[in-house]
Structure 1
Amino acid sequence: MSSKASIGGDSERDPLTDVPEECYDVLRHPRRIRILATLGARRTRLSLMELTTAIVENEDLDVPTGKARHDVRISLVHNHLPRLAEYDLVEFDAETGAELVDEPPVHPADLAGLLELCEGPEGERMLEAIVHPVRMRVLGMLSGVEHTVSVEQLASALVASDVGADDRERAKISLYHAHLPVLADAGALEFDAGANLVTRGERTTSVLH
């Protein structure tokens, strides 16, 4: 896998660096992350019944078990598994169940950090905010940085890593108007727009590296 530039100048492994950008779209839902994690852990084809049971057991569903199983099964058949199959992450058949494809473009072992972010009622909102090539890179750059950094520093680091823009001014504009406000609204980091300063968020940067 590739390495990522951090504000401090170190390089760390970024599990999602080499994920095709089109796959980010399918990773913005907690249930899909759990499906991939479950299939990756079992390493075998699971029937719809087995996969439904695993998802129900791993989600805090505030409904009776029977209804939860019905709702989860419907979502698997008509939404999540077809979407994962569309992106060549799983093989799915309504009769025989689902399994990971050989050499998937996203490896379940690399999704541990995202799986942790799925916990709680804000999981989907958090994934929607951060699962983006530029935003994931920004959070990775902030990992391990104890001090506040400037938007200019982040912009320079993005240009150096060939992500988001080909010059610092464009990177700075996209950070200021698009990416940092979304990340701040989701609680992934703190952004002082007036001072152009950014502080890492403890929850996200502790699991996304």
Structure 2
Amino acid sequence: MSSDAHLGGDMPDPLATVPTECYEILRHPRRLRLLEVLGCRQTRLSLSELTTELIDRTSTTASNGRARHEVRITLVHNHLPRLEEYDIVDWDDDGVALVDEPPVHPADLSVLLDLCDSENAETLLETLVDPVRMRLLSLLEAGDSPVSLECLAAELSARDSGPFDDTERAKIALHHSHLPAMADLGVVSYDAESQRVTRYEQVVSIVQ
């Protein structure tokens, strides 16, 4: 293999249509399932109906009454207020529905919904739902492996007009933050000494 593997550039960012300011709100599996339900039903649902739908889509060992109570509490005190804060849902005494033009459309979240089926879904979402890390997964899937840190940093800086528009800053952030976090999750292997990144097969299921 050559000293630096080819890095493809045609693989789209799986969350390209999602505003980066909304990534934070998408790091919880129940919140994603909630959006999936509202997107599929396309009507206003009562809190009771929404609770039932979420339980039906989630495998649980809890008793039905206990599960309903737990889901309802998290909806009322966590997920619905957060989604309303981001102008994604409309929530009142008559029920819950997506707003007419939400900044996040459930149809654009298929990649994240696939992650919800994993045993460690919360950890995966918390770690990977990040503009830089999702882009890294796309780059690794589009190219050969292993890839050098230099190559990844250059590719990111070529596409970024923000903090990653400088290759050296990109290298530092990748080396000290993003790649170690992704390696700890088992999505990539990062050799800090040789500064080379190898993708694992999980990357395929995450970005396709």
8 Å CA contact retained: 1:114, 1:208: no
Residues paired across the two proteins, number = 202
What is the match of residue 81 of structure 2? 82
8 Å CA contact retained: 2:149, 2:197: yes
User: How far did residue 74 of structure 1 move?
Assistant: 0.9
Aligned-CA RMSD value? 1.6
Distance 2:84 2:49 in 1: 18
- Give deviations 1:55-78, integer Å, cap 9, x for gaps: 111112221111001100111111
* Letter of the structure 2 residue corresponding to residue 112 of structure 1: S
Distance 1:77 1:208 in 2: 32
Q: Secondary structure at the match of 1:194?
A: coil
What is the match of residue 190 of structure 1? 189
What is the match of residue 140 of structure 1? 138
Once the two structures are superposed, the pairs formed by residues 34-183 of structure 1 within 5 Å of their partners are: 34-93=33-92, 95-162=93-160, 164-183=163-182
**Uncovered stretches (5+) of structure 2, i.e. residues with no partner:** 1-5
Does 1 or 2 have the higher relative contact order (CA < 8 Å, sep 6+)?
2
In our comparison, the structure showing a higher alpha carbon Rg is: 2
Q: Secondary structure at the match of 1:88?
A: coil
What is the match of residue 3 of structure 2? none
* Letter of the structure 2 residue corresponding to residue 132 of structure 1: D
Distance 1:109 1:144 in 2: 23
Once the two structures are superposed, the pairs formed by residues 26-37 of structure 1 within 5 Å of their partners are: 26-37=25-36
User: How far did residue 146 of structure 1 move?
Assistant: 4.2
8 Å CA contact retained: 2:13, 2:134: no
User: How far did residue 20 of structure 1 move?
Assistant: 2.3
Q: Secondary structure at the match of 1:13?
A: coil
Percent pairwise identity: 53
Distance 1:135 1:165 in 2: 12
More off after superposition, 142-151 vs 171-180 = 142-151
- Give deviations 1:129-160, integer Å, cap 9, x for gaps: 00111111111111243421111111011001
**Uncovered stretches (5+) of structure 1, i.e. residues with no partner:** 1-6
Q: Secondary structure at the match of 1:11?
A: coil
Gap change, CA 1:22 and 1:10, over 3 Å in 2: closer
Distance 1:180 1:205 in 2: 17
Distance 2:143 2:75 in 1: 39
- Give deviations 1:172-206, integer Å, cap 9, x for gaps: 01000010111111122221212211112322343
